[in-house]
């Protein structure tokens, strides 16, 4: 019976999404488009203002990114918990995307370490929901990915990137691009899992670098590690050398 109910629930969700897609492709008049765009500006502004006001006082933080699909028994989930707990012991708070999987692990570790636990959730049809380890004062919900990404970058003094899918790659690329183009100052970016990231590293070297689409120095913008201790040690070493500042 439970399986049938779940199947019916998933079916209704798919129907709802199909209807939204059909509505999105409905031909709109030029006036409708202009009016909608104008009002959307205020909604975007409201998200920025609300986020700035809530996050301005959180102090130094490290963001932890990774898949929403990894379960509690996955070794990377456990490693994310350890990393987050150790980060709080250095005096940093932890920012995640607020959902399940690696995000949940990051907030869980921050709670274990009695540090600040921030969740920047995004409204999605599947996967995403608030995890229970976020501080109530720092639990936020976003409609727009680009607003949410600005908050990650503005208030993070480091990125821990665990295995993940397109969303994780998007967040990683955003940080690398901003640092490479000197739009923000450099801060530590740490990829966790040599085996997981090896294919991407091969592509960086054999395709991007080989075709002169990036420089040799760009490969130094991040560090790859395999343990929680290595990840935290890199952040500590970086800030033993450099001052902590808001990124822009």
Q: Per-residue pLDDT tens for 114-169?
A: 999 999 999 776 656 789 999 999 999 999 999 999 999 999 999 999 999 999 99
Residue, of 226 and 20, whose pLDDT is higher: 226
Tokens of 212: 């002169």
pLDDT of residue 37: 79
Average pLDDT of the chain to the nearest whole number: 89
Checking if the pLDDT of 3 tops 60, the result is no
pLDDT at residue 161, rounded to an integer: 98
Query: pLDDT band at 244, cuts 50/70/90?
Result: confident
For residue 26, the Cα-to-chain-centroid distance in whole angstroms is 32
Tell whether the model's pLDDT for residue 32 goes beyond 90.
no
Model confidence at 9, pLDDT cuts 50, 70, 90, reads low
pLDDT computed for residue 31 by the predictor: 58
Condensed to tens digits (0 to 9), the pLDDT of residues 35-80 reads 677 888 999 999 999 999 999 989 999 999 999 999 999 999 999 9
232: Cα separation from own chain's centroid: 18
Averaged pLDDT for residues 201-223? 97
61-65 β-sheet, strand order: 139-142, 117-122, 93-96, 61-65, 159-161, 189-192, 223-225
The closest alpha carbon to 64, from 182, 192, 227, belongs to 192
Q: Residue 114: which region, alpha, beta or left (left: phi > 0; alpha: psi -120 to 50)? A: left
Is residue 19 pLDDT above 80, yes or no? Answer: no
Residue keyed to tokens 């800030």? 239
Q: What is the pLDDT of residues 190-200, one digit of tens each?
A: 999 999 999 99
Tokens of 159: 């990125």
Return the CA Rg of the chain. Answer: 20
Banded pLDDT at 212 (limits 50, 70, 90): very high
- What the chain holds in terms of domains, given with CATH numbers, is 46-241 (3.40.50.450)
Q: What does the pLDDT read at residue 17?
A: 58
Give the ranges where 26-157 is alpha helix by DSSP (H).
30-55, 75-89, 102-112, 145-155
Q: Is 117 helix (H, G, I), strand (E, B) or coil?
A: strand
pLDDT of residue 186: 93
Cα–Cα distance, 149 to 236 (Å, whole number):
24
The DSSP bridge pattern shows strands 117-122 and 223-225 to be unpaired
DSSP per residue, 148-205: HHHHHHHH-S-EEE-S--HHHHHHHHHHHHHHHTTSS----EEEE-HHHHHHHHHHII
Share of the chain above pLDDT 90, in %: 76
Block residue for tokens 């397109």: 166
Asked if residue 107 lies in contact with residue 136, where contact means CB atoms within 8 angstroms, the answer is no
Sequence-distant (≥ 6) Cβ neighbours of residue 206 within 8 angstroms = none
Q: Mind listing the pLDDT tens digit for each residue in 106-123?
A: 999 999 999 999 999 997
| Residue 224 predicted with pLDDT over 90 | yes
């Amino acid at each position: 019976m439970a399986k049938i109910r779940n199947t019916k629930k998933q079916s209704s969700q798919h129907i709802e999404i199909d209807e939204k897609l059909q509505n999105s492709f409905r031909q709109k008049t030029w006036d409708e488009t202009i009016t909608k765009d104008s009002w959307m500006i205020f909604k975007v502004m409201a998200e920025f203002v609300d986020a700035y006001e809530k996050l301005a006082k959180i102090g130094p933080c490290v963001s932890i990114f990774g898949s929403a699909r990894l379960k509690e028994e996955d070794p990377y989930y456990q490693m994310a918990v350890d990393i987050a707990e150790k980060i709080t012991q250095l005096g940093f708070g932890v920012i995640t995307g607020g959902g399940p999987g690696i995000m949940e692990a990051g907030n869980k570790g921050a709670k274990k370490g009695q540090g600040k636990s921030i969740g920047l959730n995004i409204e999605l049809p599947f996967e995403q929901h608030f995890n229970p380890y976020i501080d109530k004062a720092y639990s936020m919900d976003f409609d727009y990915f680009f607003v949410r990404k600005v908050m990650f970058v503005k208030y993070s003094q480091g990125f821990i990137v665990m295995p993940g899918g397109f969303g994780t790659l998007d967040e990683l690329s955003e940080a690398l691009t901003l640092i490479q183009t000197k739009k923000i100052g450099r801060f530590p970016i740490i990829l966790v899992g040599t085996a997981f990231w090896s294919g991407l590293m091969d592509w960086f070297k054999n395709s991007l670098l080989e075709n002169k689409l990036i420089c040799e120095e760009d490969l130094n913008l991040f560090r790859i590690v395999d343990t929680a201790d290595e990840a935290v040690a890199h952040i500590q070493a970086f800030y033993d050398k450099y001052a902590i500042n808001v990124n822009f």
